[in-house]
């Protein structure tokens, strides 16, 4: 049976360190400021934003949620972002994705000042990640949180075969870049990939971010693989499950993240820690 990697416990441990850093900033008269912009009322996005705000408040970060109507124009949204770019009490800006269809995601992420980019989605920051010039660079929170899990469980990535299933800008692509930077041999699979199961069965490290409940089965996984499940799906009974069939894959993997209490808590912990880092870097 696999070792279950406890993202919730690890997140709590990292939060303790972050709390010390927040106190250190408070001693200099600085309160990290995070603004989360939510356009429209997508139910999943509302839950994500509420969870982020709850954690930010608990950690004594100045967290502002801006709810904007889904009728807002791209130009008006960008104007609002620019006011936060210029506001010295705000250190981190996050625009929750996805955006309504009439708003271009690239134009919006590109409008966030790179030094206030809570998510690491600005093209400059993604470029720095790909180049592996990541000092004082914000990085996408979910993949970065997964790297913290690897680190905490002493998972050796060097020379390992890693397969990332999913090629999103939020998870798959930055995850692949981080794994390459850690000297893994990386394959990115997606909805057009032929013979997916054949690929995933070769993976020493398997990261799944496809958004389909229990998509990866025991037969898709190599014995003793390390399996990371980014999914937040609902099964037929409405229960929160991952992209990996946990009950099956747990029997075959060496390490596995559960859903819930796996990757999810690490994403928010990383966002908070990165917000604090942006505040620290701006005060240096
Ligand atoms: N939508 C789903 N995950 C994320 C995330 O990590 N950041 C943002 N901005 N939007 C998301």
Interface pTM (ipTM) of the complex? Answer: 0.95
Rounded Cα distance, 22 and 162, in Å: 35
Q: How far does residue 129's CA lie from ligand 1's centre (Å)?
A: 18
pLDDT single digits (tens) 263-284: 999 999 999 999 999 999 999 8
Residue 220: HSE in the Cβ half-sphere, 13 Å Cα cutoff: 20
Q: How far does residue 251's CA lie from ligand 1's centre (Å)?
A: 31
Q: Is 116 designated active site? A: no
What pLDDT does 248 receive? 98
Same domain, 146 and 72: no
pLDDT single digits (tens) 179-211: 999 999 999 999 999 999 999 999 999 999 999
What pLDDT does 278 receive? 98
Nearest 5°: phi and psi at 34?
A: -125, 125
- The verdict on whether residue 168 carries a ligand-binding annotation is yes
- Domain housing 147: 141-264
What pLDDT does 171 receive? 98
Q: Which of 39, 48, 111 is the best mutation target for the ligand 1 pocket, counting ligand atoms within 8 Å of the beta carbon and taking the most?
A: 48
C-alpha 116: how far from chain center: 16
Tokens 């955006």 sit on residue: 99
Within the chain, strands assigned E span 3-4, 33-39, 62-68, 92-95, 161-165, 185-189, 205-208, 226-229, 233-234, 240-241, 255-256
Q: Is 160 designated active site? A: no
pLDDT single digits (tens) 42-91: 999 999 999 999 999 999 999 999 999 999 999 999 999 999 999 999 99
Domain containing 76 — which CATH number? 3.40.50.10860
Domain containing 180 — which CATH number? 3.40.50.720
What pLDDT does 141 receive? 98
What pLDDT does 25 receive? 98
* Sign (positive or negative) of CA dihedral 6, 273, 30, 284: positive
Same domain, 88 and 161: no
What pLDDT does 284 receive? 87
Nearest-CA residue for atom 8 of ligand 1? 96
pLDDT single digits (tens) 33-50: 999 999 999 999 999 999
What pLDDT does 174 receive? 98
Question: Which letter does DSSP use for residue 5 in this model?
Answer: P
Edge to edge, the sheet with strand 92-95 lists 62-68, 33-39, 92-95
Asked whether residue 164 is domain-assigned, the answer is: yes
Same domain, 104 and 182: no
pLDDT single digits (tens) 217-271: 999 999 999 999 999 999 999 999 999 999 999 999 999 999 999 999 999 999 9
Q: Is 158 designated active site? A: no
- The verdict on whether residue 148 carries a ligand-binding annotation is no
CB distance 92 to ligand 1 below 6 Å: no
- The verdict on whether residue 167 carries a ligand-binding annotation is yes
Distances in Å between the alpha carbon of 263 and those of 88, 145, 161, 243, 270? 32, 7, 21, 12, 10
The total of other beta-carbon atoms located within 10 Å of residue 235's CB is 11
């Amino acid at each position: 049976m696999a070792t279950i990697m406890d993202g919730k416990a690890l997140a709590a441990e990292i939060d303790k360190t972050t709390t010390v850093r927040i106190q250190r900033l408070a001693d200099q008269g600085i309160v990290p400021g995070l603004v989360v912009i939510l356009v429209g009322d997508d139910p999943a996005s509302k839950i994500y934003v509420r969870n982020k705000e709850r954690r930010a408040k608990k950690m004594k970060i100045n967290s502002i949620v801006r709810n904007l109507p889904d009728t807002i124009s791209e130009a008006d949204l960008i104007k609002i972002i620019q006011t936060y770019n210029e506001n010295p009490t705000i250190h981190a800006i996050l625009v929750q994705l996805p955006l309504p269809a009439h708003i271009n995601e690239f134009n919006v992420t590109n409008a966030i000042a790179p030094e206030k980019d809570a998510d690491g989605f600005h093209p400059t920051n993604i470029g720095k990640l790909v180049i592996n010039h990541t000092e004082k660079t914000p990085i996408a929170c979910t993949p970065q949180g997964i790297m913290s899990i690897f680190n905490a469980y002493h998972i050796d990535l060097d020379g390992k075969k890693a397969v990332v299933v999913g090629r999103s800008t939020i998870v798959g692509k930055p995850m692949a870049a981080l794994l390459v930077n850690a000297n893994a041999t990386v394959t990115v699979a997606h909805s057009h990939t032929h013979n997916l199961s054949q690929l995933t069965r070769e993976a020493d490290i398997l990261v799944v971010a496809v958004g389909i409940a229990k998509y990866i089965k025991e037969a898709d996984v190599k014995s003793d693989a390390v399996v990371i499940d980014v999914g937040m799906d609902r099964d037929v009974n409405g229960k929160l499950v991952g992209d990996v069939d946990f009950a099956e894959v747990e029997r075959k993997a060496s390490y596995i993240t559960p859903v819930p209490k796996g990757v999810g808590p690490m994403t928010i912990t990383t966002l908070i820690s990165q917000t604090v880092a942006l505040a620290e870097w701006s005060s240096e």
